[in-house]
Structures are given as structure tokens and as C-alpha cells.
Amino acid sequence: DKVLALIAQCKAKGINLAVVETFRTHAKQNEYKAMGKKYTRSTGGRSKHQYGLAVDVVPLVDSVAVWNNPYLWRKIGLIGERLG
């Protein structure tokens, strides 16, 4: 419900979000861990993704994922923090 609320509230502010990833297996989490801290600091069994408590989103601008816009991420983060 909170993810849907985040998407809706961001959209109301002109920010379109795409869901990138939700559930991860232990194997996938370990694969990301092996890729380095840029991807994750958590090993298999220690990620909230493995327990239904995390989701990755990315803002879309003109249908293109925008990963490196701190201003945009800050706006998304503030909405997420208000949602808890």
C-alpha cells in the first residue's frame, strides 16, 4: 500500500516512477553483493527485499530512467519519508 501511495503522490507532483525490483532471492542478493557497494551492502538473508519490506523504484523523465538526479531523488525521498 505504501508503494502505491508513493507512486500516486509522486505522480501528483509530476514525478513518474517505475518499479525496478521487489522480491529478491538469496542468490540474487548475493549476486548484487558481489558486484560491490554501489549495488548493495547486504548479503543474502540480510536484505529487506527478501522479506517483502523493500522495493526499488526509479524516476522516469520522458520515459527514460533517471538515476543521477539528486534533486529529483530528494523529492521522492521526502515523500517516502512522510509515508513511513
Query: pLDDT-derived band of residue 81, with 50, 70 and 90 as boundaries?
Result: very high
pLDDT of residue 11: 98
**β-sheet with 64-65: strand ranges across:** 16-21, 56-61, 64-65
pLDDT at 69 over 90: yes
Pairing of strands 16-21, 56-61: antiparallel
Other Cβ atoms less than 10 A from the Cβ of 21: the count is 13
pLDDT in tens, 4-29: 999 999 999 999 999 999 999 999 99
Give the number of other Cβ atoms within 10 Å of residue 59's Cβ: 18
pTM of the model: 0.84
- Report the mean per-residue pLDDT for the chain: 94
